[in-house]
Structure 1
Amino acid sequence: MPVSFDDYLVVGISSRALFNLEDANAVFEQDGLEAYRDYQLSHEDEILQPGTGFTLVQNLLSINTITNKKLVEVIVMSRNSAETSLRIIHSLDHYGLDINRMAMSGGETISRYLDAFGVDLFLSCNEDDVNQAINSGFAAGLVYNTDRIYEQPADQIRIAFDADAVLFSPESERIFKQKGLDAFVENELLNEDVALKKGPLAKFLFCLSNLQQNTKNLHLIRTAIVTSRDKNTGKRVLKTLRKWNIDVDEVFFLQGAGKTEVLKSFGANIFFDDQDIHGLGASEVVPSARVPYKKGQEPK
C-alpha cells in the first residue's frame, strides 16, 4: 500500500526558498530559459549555499531524529525541470537533509500539486504560486530576501505570526482600513467574546500545535503572535485561541509599534505577516514571509 503522510506535518518548499539560487535566477530573468538551463548544467556539481528557509527546514527535520519517529515530511517543490534538478539533489545530499520527495514541474505552476502531496505549509519565492495556493485554501508564504544569511537558533524551532489576515480572517482589519482605528477598537471590544474566524495560516497553526503537543517534553517548538493590536483589542485574540484550544507560547501586543526588535529578540526561524511594511522590515533580522490576501478579501 502507498505510504500515508496524513499524520505528519508536511511542508512544501521551493528550491529558491531552501537554497540561495539568486545567481541562477538572475541568469533566467536576464537571458531566458535556455541560458538558465545551460547555467545549471555547467554548475551541476557546485553545492548551493543555504537560503532563507534552510534553518527552518533543518530544524523541522531534526524532530524526526530526536524523537526517533517520523513526524515531519519536507518536500522540495520546484519549477525546475528534471534535467536541471540534479544540482538541488546534490545539495540535499551534501547537507544531509532527509528530503526524498520532490516535485519538478518544468516551468508550470507548482501550486496545483499541493493537494496531491498533502501540504500543510507551502513556502516559495514565486508570487503566482503562493497566490494560487492561498486562493486554493492552503497555508502559504512568499519568502523575502532569499540571499540573506541569518543567525538563527538551531536548538529550537521558533515560528512567529501576525494576527489579523494571517491566523485570523481579515474582517477586523477591513474595519480598520475602511472606518479607522476608533471603529476597529469599538468592534473588537463589542465582539470580545466572539471568536475570530480562521485565516489562511490557521490550519498550519493547528498542525504545529499538534506537533508541539506530541513533543512537549522535549521543548522543540516555540510559537509567538506579534501583532499591532493593543492589550484591549488583544483580549479577543486570547479568547479566540482559548476557544480553538490552542496554546501560543508568547504574545506581543505592540499597539502599532515596530515588530523588528521583538522578532530579533524572539529569534524567529520564520515570521509571517500580511503586509510588506512589517514583513520587509522583519526580514532584515529574521527570515520572513508575506501571506497574501485571498482573492476578494483584501481590505481596501
Structure 2
Amino acid sequence: RPVKCLKSGPDDGGEILEIDESHLLLKLLHRVNERLEEENPEEPLLFDVILITTDSQRQQQSSRIISSTKHYGLEISRFCFASEDDFAESLQTNNVQLFLTTDRNEASQAAQKGVLSALLDQRVAISTSDQLRVMFCEDAVIQPDSGHTPVSTERAVQSFAAQMGEMRRRFRLSDSPLSFILVTLHGGRDRCADSLLTLRSSGLSVDEAYCLAGAPRGPILRCCSLTS
C-alpha cells in the first residue's frame, strides 16, 4: 500500500496534544479510502498511514500521542518511535513509500536511504478543498546534497507514481476524491510534454498540467488550492 509518514504536532501542555498541518491531509486520505471501499469492500489499494516521532521526550508520552489522534478522529494505522539517528532505517523496515515531514533535514536523511521524501506544505492547514490534489513538481522530491538523483530514488518515484495512477483509475473522471497536477518550473512546452510522458510511462495520467517556464509558482499553487 502507499504509505504516508507524518510527524506528531507540538505539545500544548494539556492532556491532548495540539494538532498540526497534517490534520487536513489525513482527513482527505481517509476520504479517498472510504470512497475506494464504497466501490469495493475488499479493496487492497488503500492509504496506510504511519505516524513517526524522533523526539525523545515525546516518546515518553506515547499514550498521549495515541489518545490525541483518537480524539481528533485521525486514521493512523501504526505508530513508530525512533531516534534521530536511525529513523530512516525504521522507514525502510516499515516499507514506507512516501515520507512527509515539515523538517527539511529529516526529508534529506530519508532520501539518502532511498525513501521517497517531501516537505509537508503548511498551506494544507488552510485549504478548504475536499479533494486530495497531489502535485508532481521538479523539486517535489528532496534530493541529497550530491547533486544527482540516486537510482533508488528514481525507482521509488516510479513505484509511487504507478500505485497512485492505479488508485486514480478506480474513480470516474468527473467525481474523483483524488486528482494529480503536474507543474514544470523551467523550460517550455517540450519539457512539460516530456514530464507528462515520463509520468504516463509509470502508469500515471495527470488531471491538470502547468508549464511555468521560470515564472513564480506561488500564484498557481494558490489558484489550485493544492494539498501537497
Give the alignment's TM-score, normalised by structure 1.
0.61
**Shift in Å, 1:237:** 1.9
In structure 2, the partner of 1:46 is: 16
In terms of Rg, which structure is larger?
1
Query: Structure 1 regions of 5+ residues with no counterpart?
Result: 1-7, 25-39, 175-196, 271-300
1:76 pairs with one of 36, 51, 60:
51
Find the counterpart in structure 1 of residue 196 from structure 2: 238
In the alignment, the residues of structure 2 paired with residue 249 and residue 131 of structure 1 have an alpha-carbon distance, to the nearest angstrom, of 29
Question: Deviation of residue 62 (structure 1)?
Answer: 2.0
**d(CA) in 2 for partners of 1:233 and 1:83?**
49
* Structure 2: unaligned runs, 5 residues or longer: none
Are positions 1:123 and 2:100 aligned together? yes
SS of equivalent to 2:16: coil
Report the Cα offset of residue 123 of structure 1.
Answer: 0.9
SS of 1:48 mapped into structure 2: coil
CA contact 1:140–1:201 (8 Å) conserved in 2: no
Query: 1:159 offset after TM fit, Å?
Result: 1.0
Amino acid at match of 1:76: L
Give the corresponding residue for 1:62. Answer: 31
> Does the residue aligned with 1:115 lie in a helix, a strand or coil?
helix
The one of 63, 85, 100 aligned to 1:86: 63
CA distance, structure 2, for counterparts of residue 119 and residue 46 of structure 1: 27
Write out the 4+ residue segments of structure 1 that deviate beyond 6 Å after TM superposition.
none
What's the counterpart of residue 138 of structure 1? 115
Cα shift readout 1:149-176 (whole Å, capped 9, x = no counterpart):
41331x210011213x547x99xx98xx
Distance 1:261-1:128 versus aligned 2 partners, 3 A rule: closer
Alignment CA distance shift 1:266-1:94 (3 Å): same
Give the whole-Å Cα distance in 1 for the aligned partners of 2:127 and 2:16: 24
Q: Does 1:151 align with 2:107?
A: no
The match for 1:10 is 3
**Which amino acid counterpart does residue 13 of structure 1 have in structure 2?**
L
Deviation at 1:94, TM superposition (A): 1.1
Conserved 8 A contact 1:124-1:142: yes
User: Cα gap change, 1:127/1:237 in structure 2, threshold over 3 Å: closer, same or farther?
Assistant: closer
- Identity level (%): 23
Could you tell me which of 171, 179, 182 is aligned with 1:225? 182
Q: Aligned in 2, Cα 1:97/1:166: closer, same or farther, shift over 3 Å?
A: closer
TM-score by length of 2: 0.79
RMSD, matched Cα = 3.0
Alpha-carbon separation, structure 1, partners of 2:92 and 2:172: 29
The aligned runs of 1:232-271 (5 Å cut-off) are: 232-270=190-228
